[in-house]
Amino acid sequence: MAERLRKLFDETDIREAVKRIARAILRDFGGEEILFVPILKGSFIFASDLVREIKSPVIIDFIRAASYGCGTATCREVALTKDLETDIMGKNVIIVEDVIDSGLTLRSIRDMLLARNPRSLKICALVDKRSRREVEIEGDYVGFTIDDDFIVGYGLDYAERYRNLPAIFVREGG
């Protein structure tokens, strides 16, 4: 069966979700400074659009994690491959994730950042796949909730491909 892409969310859907999330963040933080921590690589486009909607002081730093022991099963061990360069103690921090899936990597990153004593720590995700959750973790700000579809585009990839697509697609077949 040949690989096919079926559009799930178009550019307008995404733009509206980003604006809705930004309004919720601004409502919660007002004019306070926020440190956004996008998880590389998948969330970089979403984070870029999101921070441009935030009308209060913003700091951005990136984190990257690799999950091991994957195969076709969920990854169990998480190793940081790029840590923050910013001290987050006493800061309002928002982790920016592309997709909350099993929650294992995100929980590991959240727990590590909480140990650094931020003033507050929130989770923002473009997409939440609640049906795939293996651990207790929730997004504070979520763009879309979907079933267990394999999605690409708008930063999301399959084998490093499709990140540049302006919409989000379900990858079928292939």
Catalytic sites, residue numbers: 101
* C-alpha triplet 124, 50, 148: angle, nearest 5°: 45
> In the chain, what is the greatest distance between 2 CA atoms, to the nearest angstrom?
52
3-state helix, strand, coil in the chain (%, to 5): 25, 35, 40
Tokens of 140: 């504070």
Q: Taking Cα atoms as reference points, which of 115, 112, 83, 98 lies closest to residue 151?
A: 98
